[in-house]
Structure 1
Amino acid sequence: MSPSSTAPVPASPSASVSTSVSASVSAPPTPRSSPTPGPAASKRPQALPSPGNPGGAATVPAAAQAVDTRRPDRVVGQGTPSSCTSAAVVAAVAAGGVITFNCGPAPVTITMKATAKVRNDHGPDVVLDGGGRVTLSGGGQRRILYQNTCDEAQRFTTSHCQDQPTPRLTVQNLTFTRGNATGETAEGGGGGAIFVRGGRLKVVNSRFIDNRCDRTGPDLGGAAIRVLSQSENRPVYVVHSTFTGGRCSNGGALSSIGVSWTVLNSVFTGNQAIGRGANPAKAGTPGGGSGGAIYTDGNTFTVDVKGTVMRENHANEGGGAIFFVSNDRTGTLTIARSTLKSNPSDGFETQPGIFFLGAKLSR
């Protein structure tokens, strides 16, 4: 639950931040040539931002580092862009294990014709490694990746589904673009690129560009990623990744309920929470509009943001960069060695770019 925009909270003076790092990063070099793309795969658009904050100095724990994928269980593609199809990605994700791509030497975009869904009983780990050359696109039509340990259609395996330790999903060295969860009603919607409930999620060296979910709604969100629970309340790791151009009712990049996050050496720019009326929704409004980049709600959880740039995100209601509400006032938010700049909200905040309601905010 969050305050209605009818009772804005006075802003407090901005706290100092120890490191200022520009969110501007250089684009990858243009490849010299590439094979003619087939119908499902094409050249990746040029001038994409490099993933993450190159000046980020936060220590990355072992559990948050990239997975070794030198011995994959499955390879999508046979060396050409046309062999890297949506169907091949869907099949590989369903089978599980370590998945890499062989789409040729040039960057490719695979436009998904269906959402890739993780099976709950096909092994403990699902790892997708794009090698820095693969973009998965929802084509503006669909969510890209889905994991839900409480979804019987994905082989329900336990009565304690929300605390199930597996599958452990890792996405690394990938770009996710134009994912769209608009109209998805299961589990409350959200998660234009990735939706996860249960198991574990880790994101490393990846980009999320121009993803979408529903424009209004009081407690749905996550244009890029929506998470509803994690095994043993362990955090979602987001490491050296970039989120830009996301639009959703709440959480223009990330959104969760009762979930902890550790965000390291990453970049959030130009994301927007576009709902109206906050949560609970003001009378006569559809609700939403909080957390331009990150929207977190629930009870006992933590959010750690370190070595990260958050710039030019916007919320129609509260928290232009971060919205954090711990309903039982036990949650903590830590921001360290990070830059928050020009993250306006039109409604309420407790300090510039942030609305915080919990036990402790450390900067």
Structure 2
Amino acid sequence: MSRLFAPIIATSGCLALAACGGGEPRRQTAMTAPATPAASPSSTPTKAKAPKKKPKSHRFQAGNPNGRAPIPADGRPVDTSRPTHVIGNGTPRTCTSAAVVAAVARGGVITFDCGPGPVTITMTATAKVRNSRPRVVLDGGGLVTLSGAGKRRILYMNTCDRAQGWTTSHCNDQPTPRLTVQNLRFTGGDSTGDKAEGGGGGAIFVRGGRFSIIGSRFERNRCDATGPDLGGAAVRVLDQSRDLPVHVVGSTFTGGVCSNGGALSSIGTSWTILNSALSGNRAIGRGANPARGGTPGGGSGGALYADGNRFTVRIAGTIVRDNRANEGGGAIFFVSNDLTGTLAIDHSRLLANPSAGFETAGLPGIFYRGAGRPRLTTSTLRP
């Protein structure tokens, strides 16, 4: 049963704090242009050439452009100017599923050279991280879409999966691999029917190591429609080294459908979600968790489903809008079983996230069970 908390939203709908300011603008030194000799009366003026128009960028946009949350070091983009591997040699047809699978298995910093325009790579197999690789970075440059075609999960990392190499005796807490996806679009990922490690993770499944999502989009991903605890139409995470958080920065999650966690789902995992946007995601299971008698269970956390004991969720500079849950938490389902977990929402807006079953009084769109009350700073919550 949920614990009810008194409303903590100011009458105006938000609590005001001073905005963070930037540094002083750099001074510019005035320079005097050299004198130009006057043209003679007989000289013929030359028409100046119009500057060439810059081609329009085809790179996709992600995240909340108005988000101003500071980005910690672990959430900043990885420098990919000197890649370890490049997928493709300048044309879309050289960017294949097989090349992605092989590059991810080799590890290192991976970029794409698929031509100047957007390209979609339809995955015919799931790309899997080998646990002996210290770092794996996938950077799509804002032009690359990886598609599961509604048939399969797109990317997988599991430090406790012997098939990917057993590297330590404490697999769920080892510091590597460190997986980063940045400037990539993931669409059509589907893990339906794959119940290994409890299932979920339509586009990406991660257990162990470290994981970050930066400047990426997740669209129309899916996982199983019922089940009391599985979830994460876009991403499912179990365990992170030293209980450090998954960083999600400047990213978008939309159109995800799963039993729980229409976008993100985790057990015992902390999240730091900054300057991002989560909209139009759905938790469609029935019966909640634990499942009510006669139901298959599920239906909580329209955007985010977070369960476990001691973990934290921090959401800052982010918009969570128009998500819905058949049971609890149209926006966020947060349950810390031993009441040690904490939820903080800073400079964010949670709007129109209906919970068809239950939510915590005074927190529209949220079901919360944790340490004390959630901390809200300069944020708006509306039904």
TM-score, scaled to structure 2: 0.84
The answer to whether structure 1 residue 277 and structure 2 residue 287 are counterparts is: yes
Partner of residue 192, structure 2: 182
Match of 1:53 among 61, 64, 84: 64
Partner of residue 244, structure 1: 254
Instruction: Report if aligned partners of 1:12, 1:352 keep a CA contact under 8 Å in 2.
Output: no
Deviation at 1:14, TM superposition (A): 6.0
Summarize deviations over 1:162-194 as a string: whole Å, max 9, x none.
Answer: 001000000000000010010011101000000
> Unaligned regions of 5+ residues in structure 2, if any?
17-54, 377-383
CA spacing shift, 1:72–1:50, aligned 2, 3 Å:
same
The answer to whether structure 1 residue 166 and structure 2 residue 163 are counterparts is: no
Q: Please state whether the residue corresponding to 1:290 is helix, strand or coil.
A: coil
Correspondence list, 1:5-16, <5 A: 12-13=6-7, 15=9, 16=13
Distance 1:114 1:13 in 2: 48
User: How many residue pairs get matched?
Assistant: 332
Match of 1:359 among 371, 378, 381: 371
Partner of residue 303, structure 1: 313
Partner of residue 328, structure 1: 338
Q: Please state whether the residue corresponding to 1:87 is helix, strand or coil.
A: helix
Partner of residue 28, structure 1: none
Deviation at 1:158, TM superposition (A): 1.1
Deviation at 1:50, TM superposition (A): 2.2
Instruction: Report if aligned partners of 2:3, 2:369 keep a CA contact under 8 Å in 1.
Output: no
Distance 2:285 2:83 in 1: 42
Partner of residue 347, structure 2: 337
Instruction: Report if aligned partners of 1:329, 1:358 keep a CA contact under 8 Å in 2.
Output: yes
Partner of residue 125, structure 1: 135
Partner of residue 211, structure 2: 201
Instruction: Report if aligned partners of 2:60, 2:142 keep a CA contact under 8 Å in 1.
Output: no
The answer to whether structure 1 residue 97 and structure 2 residue 108 are counterparts is: yes
Q: Please state whether the residue corresponding to 1:153 is helix, strand or coil.
A: helix
Distance 2:81 2:337 in 1: 44
Match of 2:74 among 57, 63, 73: 63
Question: Structure 1 counterpart of 2:366, which letter?
Answer: I
Instruction: Report if aligned partners of 1:11, 1:352 keep a CA contact under 8 Å in 2.
Output: no
Summarize deviations over 1:231-280 as a string: whole Å, max 9, x none.
Answer: 00000000000000000000000000000000000000000000000000
Summarize deviations over 1:5-50 as a string: whole Å, max 9, x none.
Answer: xxx776853624358xxxxxxxxxxx889xxxxxxxxxxxx9x972
Partner of residue 229, structure 1: 239
Partner of residue 95, structure 2: 84
Q: Which structure is richer in relative contact order (CA contacts within 8 A, separation 6 or more)?
A: 1
Distance 1:306 1:72 in 2: 31
TM-score, scaled to structure 1: 0.89
Q: Please state whether the residue corresponding to 1:243 is helix, strand or coil.
A: strand
Q: Please state whether the residue corresponding to 1:91 is helix, strand or coil.
A: helix
Distance 1:105 1:280 in 2: 50
Partner of residue 26, structure 1: none
Distance 1:32 1:279 in 2: 48
Summarize deviations over 1:138-165 as a string: whole Å, max 9, x none.
Answer: 0000000000000000011111000010
Instruction: Report if aligned partners of 1:14, 1:352 keep a CA contact under 8 Å in 2.
Output: no
Question: Structure 2 counterpart of 1:285, which letter?
Answer: T
Distance 1:9 1:278 in 2: 16
The higher radius of gyration belongs to 2
Partner of residue 17, structure 1: 14
Partner of residue 278, structure 2: 268
Q: Percent identity?
A: 69
Q: Please state whether the residue corresponding to 1:82 is helix, strand or coil.
A: helix
Partner of residue 123, structure 2: 112
Q: Please state whether the residue corresponding to 2:99 is helix, strand or coil.
A: helix
Question: Structure 2 counterpart of 1:216, which letter?
Answer: T
Instruction: Report if aligned partners of 1:215, 1:249 keep a CA contact under 8 Å in 2.
Output: yes
Question: Structure 1 counterpart of 2:375, which letter?
Answer: S
Distance 1:18 1:74 in 2: 47
Partner of residue 36, structure 1: none
Distance 2:259 2:245 in 1: 23
Partner of residue 315, structure 1: 325
Partner of residue 230, structure 2: 220
